[in-house]
């Protein structure tokens, strides 16, 4: 009987890319990837997926089919903006939890990568329920990602549209915000900055004393009302 190590090395994907230890050491030091890096990471993704889905040989019968699939996946990942290692690892986590034995499609893997579950982000429908709170001006009651999505639309535009059209805009904006959050990118630039408070007029010492006297008079009058 062959050892796990021997069986692993028979996998052409792992053989071409390295052992799991080599893969981990190669990627843990890289916190973020770019679009071009999707090509470099495709073997890492395939090695992980082949380990998670034992029936992968039913999908790829030879090296040619495997190479064609990799090229298609690279295009799909770049088009879907799945180029960040944080997103990729999130998708792989979902893959390992899948009950299927068969290799997923690139579309399925992309949906796993874009899932909000690991980032404690509600779905767009739930987040949109904060619309009345946003329009009422209670910004501190709304999570930052939801607030940023509304700010990208703006109150004037929201007032001019019906709820259905506003939701379409919000959903598009919210997806962009969530991508930034899941890629560990700041979203402060998407939030409307509050206007600076006007500087209070500097009072002269005479005016300060007069104000203090009025406050003391008010306190005395209040005490007299309460206790006589």
Q: How many alpha carbons lie under 13 Å from residue 81 in its C-beta half-sphere?
A: 8
pLDDT at 200: 61
Residue 9 has pLDDT above 70, yes or no: no
Residue 2 has pLDDT above 70, yes or no: no
- Among 18-22, 49-53, 102-106, 204-208, the range scoring the smallest mean pLDDT is 18-22
Distance CA 117, CA 1 (A): 41
**Domain range annotation of the chain:** 4-115, 117-220
How many CB atoms sit inside 10 A of residue 37's CB? Answer: 16
The pTM assigned to this predicted structure is 0.46
Q: Which two tokens stand for residue 137?
A: 């001006």
Distance CA 130, CA 211 (A): 42
Distance CA 152, CA 161 (A): 15
pLDDT at 112: 86
Banded model confidence at residue 90, pLDDT cuts 50, 70, 90? confident
Tens digit of pLDDT for each residue in 102-148? 999 999 998 888 776 655 678 889 899 999 989 988 888 888 899 99
């Amino acid at each position: 009987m062959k050892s796990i190590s021997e069986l692993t090395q028979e996998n052409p994907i792992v053989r071409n890319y390295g052992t799991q230890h080599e893969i981990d050491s190669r990627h843990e030091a890289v916190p973020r990837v770019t679009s071009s890096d999707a090509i470099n990471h495709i073997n890492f993704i395939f090695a992980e997926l082949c380990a998670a889905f034992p029936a992968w040989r039913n999908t790829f019968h030879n090296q040619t089919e495997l190479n064609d699939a990799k090229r298609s996946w690279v295009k799909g990942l770049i088009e879907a903006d799945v180029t960040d290692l944080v997103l990729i690892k999130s998708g792989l986590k979902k893959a390992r939890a899948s009950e299927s034995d068969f290799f997923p499609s690139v579309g399925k893997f992309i949906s796993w990568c874009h899932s909000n579950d690991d980032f404690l982000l509600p779905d767009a429908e739930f987040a949109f329920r904060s619309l009345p709170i946003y329009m009422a001006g209670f910004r501190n009651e709304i999570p930052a990602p939801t607030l940023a999505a509304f700010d990208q639309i703006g109150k004037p535009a929201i007032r001019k549209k019906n709820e259905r059209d506003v939701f379409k805009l919000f959903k598009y904006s919210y997806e962009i915000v969530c991508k930034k959050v899941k890629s560990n990118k700041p979203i402060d630039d998407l939030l409307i900055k509050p206007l600076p408070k006007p500087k209070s007029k500097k009072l002269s010492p005479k005016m300060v004393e007069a104000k203090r006297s009025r406050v003391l008079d008010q306190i005395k009058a209040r005490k007299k009302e309460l206790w006589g």
